[in-house]
Amino acid sequence: MNKQKKIFSMLVIIAVVGLGISLSGCVEEIENKIIVGTSADFPPFEYVEDGTIVGFDIEMVTMILEDLNYTVEVQDIAFEGLIGALNSDKIDVIAAGMSIDPEREVDFTIPYYEADLSVLVLTESNYTINETNHLEVLANLTVGAQTGTTGADWVYETLINITNATMQEDQLKRYTLYTLALLDLTNKNLDAIVIDKPVAEAFAEDVDAEIAYTIDSDEEYGLAVKKGNSDLLAELNQGLTKLIGTEEWTNLIKKYFE
């Protein structure tokens, strides 16, 4: 073997070894990374600030996962696409203010937040909505809700999909993002939005709107993993149990809700 061939052979060996080391590092990184899916239009739980996805859910799940020695990546996905992304292994965890619902094809953690539904209206609308008249009043309004949420489900099942319903299906406007519904409300293309109460409170601070009525829905939020992913579910439950009630948890609540 001449000198040039020897040099070429050595270079090939070095390249192969280097590639092996590089691939080994990539595998390790992938094994230790958790991809969190969210829908970043749901303040204060998840929203975009200065180009970065932030919020209560994001900070909470990041704290839990990093404590478990995972690297966390957050992806912004339309809410109605989150479960599909989870079940097709594009993401590992959903952290999106998602209400625990046995009909959703995922496994939920223990609850970490309780939230009722609220009817958000413009302050100038002067609607009087109460326990006695709320169904009648809402049935005569154009109501917005985010696709795939319990708010949209409540409007449909309570006001439209019932015998002798007075609300027509086209009175319910579905949106991929809550922010689009809020924009239509402020532009007076909607009369009201049915939305989770803590989010309604956050929106009411930003625009001239108010909560006209609160619907007692007994909703609880949970993190979600793919059905059967019992190991990750156990780790998340362990992390939530460890975090909830601590000083860190209290500070997180104060940061986003007070």
Amino acid at 29: E
**182 in helix, strand or coil?**
helix
103 and 193 both lie in a single domain: no
**12 within a domain of the structure (yes/no):** no
- The reported pLDDT for the residue numbered 12 is 42
- The reported pLDDT for the residue numbered 11 is 42
- The reported pLDDT for the residue numbered 34 is 98
Cα–Cα distance for residue pair 240/248, rounded to 1 Å: 12
- The DSSP line for 79-125 is GGGHHHHHHTTS-SEE-S-PBP-TTSSSEE-S--EEEEEEEEEEGGG
- The reported pLDDT for the residue numbered 10 is 44
213 and 125 both lie in a single domain: yes
Domain that holds residue 210: 115-220
Residues linked to residue 74 through DSSP beta bridges, in sequence order: 36
Cα–Cα distance for residue pair 177/125, rounded to 1 Å: 23
**214 within a domain of the structure (yes/no):** yes
- The string over 223-239, giving b where at least 16 C-beta atoms fall within 10 Å of a residue's C-beta and e elsewhere, is bbbbeebeebbebbbeb
State the 10-residue block means of pLDDT for the chain, 258 residues long: 46 43 42 94 95 97 97 97 97 97 95 93 93 95 94 95 91 94 96 92 88 92 97 98 94 87
171 and 243 both lie in a single domain: no
Q: Report how many domains make up the chain.
A: 2
191 and 249 both lie in a single domain: no
Q: Which helix (H) or strand (E) holds 179?
A: helix 178-186
41 and 91 both lie in a single domain: yes
**174 within a domain of the structure (yes/no):** yes
Residue linked to tokens 């909560």? 211
Where in 123-222 does DSSP place strands (E)? Answer: 143-146, 172-175, 192-196, 209-221
**19 within a domain of the structure (yes/no):** no
Amino acid at 2: N
Whole-model pTM above 0.85? Answer: no
134 and 206 both lie in a single domain: yes
154 and 190 both lie in a single domain: yes
- The reported pLDDT for the residue numbered 234 is 98
**11 within a domain of the structure (yes/no):** no
145 and 237 both lie in a single domain: no
Distances (CA, A) of 72 to 11, 48, 91, 158: 36, 17, 11, 39
135 and 195 both lie in a single domain: yes
**4 within a domain of the structure (yes/no):** no
- The reported pLDDT for the residue numbered 118 is 95
Cα–Cα distance for residue pair 102/104, rounded to 1 Å: 5
- The reported pLDDT for the residue numbered 30 is 56
CATH number, domain containing residue 249? 3.40.190.10
81 and 49 both lie in a single domain: yes
**23 within a domain of the structure (yes/no):** no
Half-sphere exposure of 128 (CA within 13 A, CB side): 2
108 and 226 both lie in a single domain: yes
216 and 120 both lie in a single domain: yes
**7 within a domain of the structure (yes/no):** no
